[in-house]
Structure 1
Amino acid sequence: MSLSPSLANFRRPLFLWNLMIRDSTNNGFFTNTLNIYSSMEHSGVHGNNLTYPLLLKACANLASIQHGAMLHGHILKLGFQADTFVQTALLDMYSKCSHVASARQVFDEMPHRSLVSWNAMVSAYSRGSSMDQALRFLREMSVLGFGPNCSTFVSILSGYCNSDPVKFHLQGRSIHCCLIKLGIVYLEVSLANSLMGMYAQFCLMDEARKVFDLMDEKSIISWTTMIGGYVKIGHAGEAFKLFNQMQHQSIGIDFVVFLNLISGCIQVGEFLLASSVHSLVLKCGCEVEGSIENLLITMYAKCGNLTSARRIFDLVIDKSMLSWTSMIAGYVHSGHPVEALDLFRRMVKTDVRPNGANLATVLSACADLGSLSIGEEIEEYVFLNGFESDQQVQTSLIHMYSKCGSIMKAREVFARVTNKDLTVWTSMINSYAIHGLGSEAISLFHKMTTLEGIMPDSIVFTSVLLACSHSGLVEEGLKYFKSMQKDFGIAPTLEHCTCLIDLLGRVGQIDLAFDAIQQMPLEVQSQAWGPLLSACRIHGNVEMGELVTDRLLDISPGNSGSYVLMANLYSSSGKWKEARMMRNLIDGKRLVKECGWSQVEVSDNYHTFAAGNNHSKLL
């Protein structure tokens, strides 16, 4: 605590010092509060039981355990061990500075405890996500006659908001039942907000909505919690409906609302909605917030409007690492790897140093571009800047080398990784899969699950099924498709189903693939017929191809690819008349067939050639 010269050597009575400390603390000038106390000590005046709770509050807000421990010494020296008010402030300070053990020691040594003391200890455990301990204190305080109040339950519910939903959602429901029994659910807005926050964390938005609808008084936090909860579970439409209701209630819009709305726009990917939200951001003057700017960049990139994303990026004066990464990722995810790499080269010339996430995004651009030379340059940069042990970067290097055709380089990176996580294993298994090395992929999967004891997820099973498909390993593919469900409880996704159909189709099991699709959900069938139609063309099964085409055109009549596949099937079978009829249907329905294209690298420049075009496009 530094001595303030303007206050030194000036003798004031204690009540004046307390007034200065109180005003400084209440106005949020916490560092100044500690400076005032330092001056008071130097003037020979000691604090009382009104002084130290204010000072400890300042330490708690500054998260300054050093000053808090110093004040603890002063408290002991002046004999405030029996003062419940001072001791409660002391344990609250330790709690907010994440020193739960010290808070517990203070609590255990208190000769007298108040409800506030018990609440402070419950809050300490809840803040540290020690929910079992928090609940034990809740039961113990009730037995000793300290009936819990709204503050007690706000602490516990807030703790659940940072806990594992799978482990604690039943306990959370029990707390809700307890609140209903006590009749205090809607006694305070903060309590209802905490209850909604817990349900939103557990992704139980129907339960959260019931609480919200029954609230007589709603704060901005009430609306924000619900909007954010809907966005979290992917129901952006519900979030925007609620936002419209909020506007009709004349509720002020804050920074958090915009974060949620922009995140909703990123999910939906609709440009008109995104531009409307951006206009509202500008109207309310929130566009200068760094996190808002970065989300806006991501939002426009997700909507396919890279021009608007780049315009916002260029307007950011003090670009952070997140700003650069957002724009680079926007280019990568929109299929513009060259622009992403150009921006990265520009970034490394500034004072901003890339992090693991940034390098992983750049490596994705190299993978999309298929440029082994640039990928090797990025790896060299990785080693020179100490990122060779970053697992996110290592995983991206494996993916990049695999996509650039160097499976040996991918193996070398994989071998260097220590303490491999599921993502690293998945990346290497997928590398083997796309290179048609099915046996190697299956062997690595077996090593991961059996020898390393790593539990697989749906993503790694997609890579395993892809490996089986590309290598024609039918029996193995069927075995893993069943094992995924039976042994690991993983429900098949669209990717798993299409891999299975592709696997059966490649080896000519057309009828079996057809029967398998018939048993799939309708939303999956729409994507599974395409691989089967490709298999019909490969194996010359015109009769099944016609049947599959009928199904495809019923689902998606505007998809020109189905007509092209069937026309190629007729052509390969010598049915030229039927092939010409299918081609004519494309023209008659004014469907647009996406032209084929290729890309070649010449002297660090990339040229693309489109079918039917005599000119190349320089990238």
Structure 2
Amino acid sequence: MGSIYKSLLIIKSPIKSFIGFTESSISLLKHCTNHRLITQGQVIHTHLYKLGISSHRHIAVKLLIMYLDFKKSSEVDQLLKDYNTFDMIVHNCLISANVNWANVDEARKLFDEMPQRNEVSWTALISGYLKCGRVDESMELFRRNPFQNVISWTAAISGLLSNGMRLESLELFLEMLRDGVWPNNVTFVSVVRACTEMEELALGVSVVSLVVKLGFEEDVSVCNSLITFSLRLGEMDMASAIFKRMGKRDVISWTAILDMYVEMGDLREARKVFDEMPERNEVSWSAMISRYTQKGYSKDAIELFRQMIENRINPNSSCLSSAINALANLKLLQPGKTIHAHVTKIGLANDVFISSSLIDLYGSCGSPNDGRLVFDTVQNKNVVCWNTLISAYSSNGQHEEAKKLFDQIAVKSIGSWNSMVTGYLENEQYDKVFEVFNDMLLSGQTPDISTLSSVLCACANLTSLQKGKDIHGKTFKLGFQHNVFVGTSLVDMYAKSGDIENSKRVFNKMTEKNEVSWTAMIQGLAENGYAEESLELFQQMEKTTCIKPNELILLAILFACSHCGLVDKGLHYFNLMETVYKIKPNERHYTCVVDMLSRSGRVREAEDLIKSMPCEPEVNAWAALLSGCKTYGEDEIAERTAATIQELAEQKSGGYVLLSNVYASAGKWREVLKTRKLMKERGLKKSGGCSWIEVRNELHLFYAQDASGNELNEICGVLEQLKYHMLVLYEHN
């Protein structure tokens, strides 16, 4: 604005040079047009009118362009009165304006009225027809055009491309070359885009050669299009080489190469590029923040979002959604509420993607009812909104609310069904998982990879082998047998159901294995007593893959060593955790080592290890030690351990239950009753035990002290008969 008023002062000052004054006025009018400053433009027009030079041809043309751009029809009509004779520039301005307004027929009328035309006239009308999708009329004009230079050829090529006629645009490009017309940078951008969309690698490489030959390899727009072409076809090295050769880069160049590393999942290199960027736009920031969130680096995403705000970059809806998702992952409710207030203030609260993220945030932070308030304010709810709220209620154990919402959805997507399945799975209601899955099949909805993985997880937790085999059959029918997630779920299901041979068979047939796949197989072998084989598979993974051992794999290895008496080997791996694998042992690792030492009679070492732990020992660690004391007659250590367990039991029922079980295994029933009485006095409750049995594909659950079963008398009768027969057999033997 300051430059405008300075210029106004200049044109109001005494005229020393008419040519200089005219040039300044024209420049100022052009500035007003480009920056949408119509009020200032009208002020300048008034002053020029008072000076009597507003009808000067060059000034009048600039005024006409300005008023046409702002669609000021009365001012345009007034200016046209000054042109009672033909003026080619004025006619071209009118044609271009009508083309921009999509009044192509009016533009054609003006074109036909012209006694003579230049290349601008022809090109403007050809482009106008192409913009309106009237390709045949456009090409008919193009063939008649006497000014077929690079500008008109480029207009036709890019116009065909914008109408989805990629092959035709490339054919026209080849025709242009045959006619001896050399392309410019705009031509190359359009041609490379056509090659990109058609995935024409060979032709694209030829175009690259021509780019180099004609000296456009330094043109920023051409190089940007070549980078996009390379990335779309998966030629990452080619894209990187083009980027490195560029003498000058703009924000588009940097963002394209940033996207490359982001899509490759190489966040370290992507961040390096991001930090080197001399200029960042909202796309650059959004790409990094969203990928950090997707990859689970939520803290990094939030920190980058904070920096973005500090740099006064306004986040778009995609970026805000990613930031909210990161907060949901970290269960940070208060910062999420702050962003919620901000999006409400700027009018984006109704954005369906942001709303879905907010619903997920409130659900993740245990406030699904707040998520419901967001849901109710969304005017155009999509299925994602519905599914997110269902998941919010399900994950918080409010299954009745989730079911009500689920039943209200007119057209249920696969995500709707998966939200219900996952909710029951997370709350360990495995019988409900099968219920929903069966309803889903009856509705005609085809399960996807997520559905099958969830149902297989339920099968694994219930050790329901037959159901698991049925799902395995469905994976073949649906073509998911080679999917890494389904394969991993099958490995885990078979292993937890005790069918280790089928578990190994599935694992060996997997064409792709990830970290979780190896973990499931190593853990499955260890827990089913195949300790040696588990260790061998671990060594194979280290030798043949780039996968680094994680916490669960090392826990499985320690478990295997414990249960096959390989104490020294187990200690060896335990000592390597921090020094080699860079993993800090947690409570479960220490418990496993304590169990391993206690089982082998090295009880004092086990006690010393518990005392030296950098974290609070689990109750199970003390239980393992107590069990070792009992086996090897270490009464002194046993007394200390039992006293410690009793101290730990002050706040939690788990310690008392463990102590009660230890007394029971030792036959000290008075101590058992004393412990249970103490639990009752302190208001501590033990969660009820649950057993289940599968009969004819139907799951029957039995809870401790539950007398509500319909066939309870018959079951008790059968148990009495079994007890009688067992006693008879015992006496007979």
Q: TM class, shorter-chain normalised?
A: 0.7 to 0.9
Check the 8 A contact 1:129/1:160 in 2, yes or no: no
Return the offset for 1:240: 0.9
Structure 1, unaligned stretches of length 5 or more? 1-6, 25-32
Q: Which residue of the partner structure matches residue 188 of structure 2?
A: 87
1:531 to 621, 630, 646: 621
Q: Which residue of the partner structure matches residue 574 of structure 2?
A: 481
Return the offset for 1:246: 1.9
Check the 8 A contact 1:107/1:117 in 2, yes or no: no
Please state if 1:220 is matched with 2:316.
Answer: yes
1:599 to 692, 695, 711: 692
Are residues 20 and 412 of structure 1, via their aligned partners in 2, closer, same or farther at CA, if it must alter by over 3 Å?
Answer: same
Check the 8 A contact 1:199/1:207 in 2, yes or no: no
Q: What amino acid does structure 2 have at the position aligned with 1:116? A: S
If asked which structure has higher relative contact order (CA below 8 Å, sep 6+), I would say: 1
Q: Which residue of the partner structure matches residue 303 of structure 1?
A: 396
Return the offset for 1:323: 3.2
Q: Which residue of the partner structure matches residue 252 of structure 1?
A: 348
TM-score (norm 2): 0.67
Distance in 1, matches of 2:232 and 2:241, equals 15
Please state if 1:500 is matched with 2:593.
Answer: yes
Are residues 135 and 437 of structure 1, via their aligned partners in 2, closer, same or farther at CA, if it must alter by over 3 Å?
Answer: closer
Please state if 1:561 is matched with 2:654.
Answer: yes
Distance in 2, matches of 1:55 and 1:519, equals 75
Q: Which residue of the partner structure matches residue 127 of structure 2?
A: 18
Distance in 1, matches of 2:497 and 2:207, equals 61
Q: Which residue of the partner structure matches residue 135 of structure 2?
A: 37
Q: Which residue of the partner structure matches residue 278 of structure 1?
A: 372
Distance in 2, matches of 1:587 and 1:166, equals 54
Range 216-225 or range 397-406, more displaced: 216-225
Are residues 118 and 443 of structure 1, via their aligned partners in 2, closer, same or farther at CA, if it must alter by over 3 Å?
Answer: closer
2:422 to 329, 332, 350: 329
State the Cα deviation string for residues 433-456 of structure 1 (Å, max 9, x = none): 222232232233334444678654
State the Cα deviation string for residues 49-91 of structure 1 (Å, max 9, x = none): 33433443454xxxx8556545544654666542322222222
Q: Which residue of the partner structure matches residue 562 of structure 2?
A: 469
Are residues 585 and 413 of structure 1, via their aligned partners in 2, closer, same or farther at CA, if it must alter by over 3 Å?
Answer: same
Are residues 397 and 388 of structure 1, via their aligned partners in 2, closer, same or farther at CA, if it must alter by over 3 Å?
Answer: same
Please state if 1:616 is matched with 2:709.
Answer: yes
Distance in 2, matches of 1:390 and 1:191, equals 32
Are residues 197 and 534 of structure 1, via their aligned partners in 2, closer, same or farther at CA, if it must alter by over 3 Å?
Answer: closer
Distance in 2, matches of 1:566 and 1:364, equals 32
Return the offset for 1:559: 1.7
1:115 to 195, 217, 220: 220
Are residues 398 and 209 of structure 1, via their aligned partners in 2, closer, same or farther at CA, if it must alter by over 3 Å?
Answer: closer
State the Cα deviation string for residues 236-257 of structure 1 (Å, max 9, x = none): 4475144245246434132332
Are residues 262 and 466 of structure 1, via their aligned partners in 2, closer, same or farther at CA, if it must alter by over 3 Å?
Answer: farther
Check the 8 A contact 1:88/1:116 in 2, yes or no: yes
Distance in 2, matches of 1:369 and 1:234, equals 30
TM-score (norm 1): 0.78
2:463 to 370, 387, 398: 370
Q: Which residue of the partner structure matches residue 276 of structure 2?
A: 175
Distance in 2, matches of 1:518 and 1:128, equals 59
Are residues 83 and 448 of structure 1, via their aligned partners in 2, closer, same or farther at CA, if it must alter by over 3 Å?
Answer: closer
Check the 8 A contact 2:491/2:507 in 1, yes or no: yes
| Greater C-alpha Rg | 2
State the Cα deviation string for residues 410-429 of structure 1 (Å, max 9, x = none): 34444554565554443333
State the Cα deviation string for residues 494-530 of structure 1 (Å, max 9, x = none): 54344334433444544433433444443xx25x233
Q: Pairwise mapping of residues 181-196 of structure 1 onto structure 2 (< 5 A)?
A: 184=279, 189-190=282-283, 193=286
Distance in 1, matches of 2:246 and 2:507, equals 54
Check the 8 A contact 2:289/2:319 in 1, yes or no: no
Q: What amino acid does structure 2 have at the position aligned with 1:37? A: V
Check the 8 A contact 2:290/2:323 in 1, yes or no: no
Range 405-414 or range 584-593, more displaced: 405-414
Q: Which residue of the partner structure matches residue 410 of structure 1?
A: 503
Distance in 2, matches of 1:551 and 1:68, equals 82
Q: What amino acid does structure 1 have at the position aligned with 2:379? A: G
Check the 8 A contact 2:597/2:603 in 1, yes or no: yes
Please state if 1:590 is matched with 2:695.
Answer: no
User: Which secondary structure state, in structure 1, belongs to the residue aligned with residue 700 of structure 2?
Assistant: strand
Q: Which residue of the partner structure matches residue 339 of structure 1?
A: 432
Return the offset for 1:489: 3.5
Return the offset for 1:128: 6.5
Q: Which residue of the partner structure matches residue 30 of structure 1?
A: none
Return the offset for 1:98: 5.6
Structure 2, unaligned stretches of length 5 or more? 1-103, 112-121, 145-151, 631-636, 712-733
